[in-house]
Amino acid sequence: MHIPDGFIDGKTALAAAAISVAGVGVALRQVKRELPPRKTPLLGLAAAFLFAAQMVNFPVAGGTSGHLVGGALVAALLGPSAAVVVVTTVLIVQCFLFADGGLTALGANIFNMAIVNSVAGYAIYRAVCRVLPGVSGRVTAIAFAGWCATVLAAVCCAGELAFSGTVAWSAAFPAMAGTHILIGIGEGLISALVFLAIERTRPDMIAGTVGPDQPQRWGELVRYGLLVSLGVAIFVAPFACPWPDGLEHVAASLGFKHKAAPPLLPAPAPDYHFPGIHSAVGATAIAGAAGALIVFALALLLGRLLAPDRARGTSAGLEDA
Amino acid sequence: MHRLPASLKLGVALALIVGTVLAPPSWTAWFAGVAAVLALAIWFSRIPLLFLAKRLLLLSPFVLGAALVNAFGPAGGARWILLAARSALCLLAVILVSNTTPMSQILRVLQRVRVPALLITTIALMHRYIFVLADEAERMRRARLSRTFQRAGRPGWQMLATVVGQLFIRASERAERIYDAMCARGWK
């Protein structure tokens, strides 16, 4: 999902950079306030861990392989602000050292992968944890949060590409969201397995993430929520609300509205609208919504399967206390 | 090229990249100029061409994806060529800078432009420990292989996840030791 240089135009880069600077600023201030000095090196080490973990390849059917992205996982383990700082660091090093992700697109990449991914992942993780107590609840929560965070980041990425006029929304949204609905399943599964592995070896590291001593992060989440909604309002909303209008707007701004030559279009659609294309946007949105339900059910099942001994009935609730 | 001040290299690269991203397609002279500057830089940096070509080919799935999408769109190939040219030029600029400038110098430049100290500490620590943790992951893999501890020739997800989880635990424990070491050396 690393956007390279040249795919994002000036106005998008500036807007995304401004939002990202604000978001990372909030995160740094928050981290400074709540993280004891003892834990300062943990941020750097967590970033290095994320980078090393991304090199572990998980085999997928057909010879391909995937890897962890990890924003949601780090957010669940260290809290949202630390996760924003950690993922931002990974992105900066990838950009300067490995030329992975463009310099002008750094703001957009930080917005999608550090801010949206971590904050959404954390919010969903906490929300599900509250509903489902116990270890199996946490496994369910992290699996679902990993999936949602991946899909949301992909939607923002598609919005930025469309807002720049690089790729039309009608093509970018189904392509990005569609593939990441699938990739997100892997992300959720890996996150849950890693989470469980840590839970089994060092339960004390996990216990702090949901216990009663965990600070209520309303103020923090509201600030991030405002920034994320601002970004979504700029990049995604103009396309998402009335879909044909969004398409129309992109077509007009790209100037190819009238260039869509008649010979390209066969008889069934003599009008300007491509029949398949904006229904693809709708279909992807519906698939995403249905996918969320299915993935949540799968995550629930995963939690029960992986942590069966503690998930039975009321004992799960008692265990947290 | 390797000895030039880092701030100069970063500044020029940033100017070239921003210019290339913002330049309208009709400015062929600008693109040619950027290409010429980069060619000169490649000559002086003495980076092997094959290495650069390999890095460029790893362009990331984006250019290919955009190619596919644009192939079906009405605007067609010209836009895609522009896109590919832009991202290739920018990518070359970043690769050149990153391969001729040590990370510590880049960090010093970031410090001078007032990037918050906590972020710089984090970046420096990450850069220092990337390779240590990568080695650690490799050692864990080798240890597992030498005990032939695998299922039917193919590592299962659960086992790989255990490795990743263990890596996180070791990283956090190492962070504690590093803090003690930093304090012992007078870090405030």
Is the model more confident about A267 or about A128?
Answer: A128
pLDDT at A318: 41
Among the ranges given (A40-49, A296-305, B7-16, B76-85), the one the predictor scored with the smallest mean pLDDT: B76-85
Same domain membership, residue B104 and residue B28: yes
| pLDDT at residue B84 greater than cutoff 80 | no
- B98 inside 8 A of chain A by CB: yes
Q: pTM value?
A: 0.82
Q: What is the pLDDT of residue A85?
A: 94
CB atoms near residue B10 (< 10 Å):
19
Residue A274 has a pLDDT of: 46
Do B103 and B165 belong together in one domain? no
The ipTM estimated for the assembled molecules is 0.84
Structural domain contains residue A1: no
Overall domain count for chain B: 2
Higher pLDDT, A232 or B59: A232
Mean pLDDT of all residues belonging to chain B: 81
If asked whether residues B64 and B144 sit together in one domain, one would say: no
Is A196 close to B129, i.e. CB distance below 8 A? no
Is pLDDT at B22 greater than 70 in this prediction?
A: yes
Give B-chain residues touching A38 at CB under 8 angstroms: 176, 179
**Boundary (domain end) residue, out of B92, B108, B124:** B108
Determine the pLDDT at residue A237.
74
Q: What is the pLDDT of residues B114-139, one digit of tens each?
A: 888 889 989 999 999 998 998 888 88
Range of the domain at A96: 10-320
Tokens of B179: 């803090």
Chain B segment 31-50 residues within 8 A of A by beta carbon are none
Inter-axis angle of helices B157-184 and A40-53, to 10 degrees?
A: 150
Q: Please answer whether residues B144 and B150 qualify as being in contact, where contact means their C-beta atoms are separated by less than 8 angstroms.
A: yes
Mark whether B84 and B121 lie in a shared domain: no
Residue B75 resides in a domain: yes
| Same domain flag for B75 and B14 | yes
Question: Do B15 and B76 belong to one domain?
Answer: yes
More confident residue, B127 or B22: B127
Phi, psi of B154 (to 5 degrees): -135, 125
Task: Tell me if A116 sits within 8 A of A80, measured CB to CB.
Answer: no
Closest CA to A187 of A308, A75, A21: A75
For the segment A96-142, what is each residue's pLDDT rounded down to a tens digit?
A: 888 788 888 899 999 999 999 999 999 999 889 888 888 888 899 99
Among A49, A77, A99, beta carbon nearest to B91: A99
Cα dihedral A84, A154, A122, A53 in deg (nearest 10) = -70
Domain range for B56: 6-108
Write out pLDDT tens, residues A126-183: 889 888 888 888 899 999 999 999 999 999 998 998 888 777 788 788 888 888 888 8
Taking 70 as the threshold, does the pLDDT of residue A73 lie above it? yes
Facing residue for A47 by CB, picked from B70, B122, B178: B122
Question: For residues A127 and A125, what is the distance between their CA atoms, to the nearest angstrom?
Answer: 6
Q: How far is A239 from chain B (nearest CA, A)?
A: 18
Rounded percentage of chain A residues whose pLDDT exceeds 70: 78
Residues B39-54: pLDDT tens digits? 888 888 778 888 887 7
Domain-located, residue A4:
no
Task: Give the pLDDT band (50/70/90) at residue B70.
Answer: low
Query: At A204, is the pLDDT very low, low, confident or very high (cuts 50, 70, 90)?
Result: confident
The SS3 call for residue B11 is: helix
pLDDT at A96: 84
Q: How confident is the model at residue A264 (pLDDT cuts 50, 70, 90)?
A: very low
**Tens of pLDDT, residues A54-72:** 887 777 766 667 778 888 9
Measured in angstroms, the CA of A182 and the nearest CA of chain B are apart by 16
Q: In whole angstroms, what is the distance from residue A195 CA to residue A141 CA?
A: 11
From residue B64, give the alpha-carbon distance in Å to each of A53, B58, B83: 26, 11, 11
Distances (CA, A) of A153 to A2, A113, A187, A249, B115: 11, 6, 13, 23, 25
Is residue B154 a part of any domain in this protein? yes
Both structure tokens of A270: 């003599």
Asked if pLDDT for residue B77 goes beyond 50, the answer is yes
Name the token pair of A122: 């954390």
Of B91, B134, B182, the CB nearest to A5: B91
Query: Residues B125, B103: one domain?
Result: no
- Specify the CATH number for the domain of residue A18: 1.10.1760.20
Question: B13, A47: Cβ pair inside 8 Å?
Answer: no
The answer to whether position B1 is within a domain reads no
**Claim to verify: residue B29 and residue B73 sit in the same structural domain:** yes
Q: Which of residues 72 through 91 in chain B touch A, CB cutoff 8 A? A: 72-75, 83, 85-87, 89-91
Looking at per-residue confidence, does B152 or A37 come out higher? A37
How far apart are the C-alpha atoms of B55 and B9, rounded to whole Å? 20
| A268 vs A64, higher pLDDT | A64
d(CA A83, CA A119): 8
Domains identified in chain A, total number = 1
Yes or no, beta carbons of A99 and B94 under 8 Å apart: yes
B140 and B92 in a single domain? The answer is no
DSSP per residue, A3-48: PPTTSS-HHHHHHHHHHHHHHHHHHHHHHHHHS-GGGHHHHHHHHH
Asked if B12 reaches chain A (Cβ–Cβ under 8 Å), the answer is no
Mean pLDDT of A285-303: 81
A78 pLDDT more than 60: yes
Final residue belonging to a domain, choices B89, B108, B127: B108
Residue B62 shares a structural domain with residue B154 = no
Same-domain pairing of B146 and B162: yes
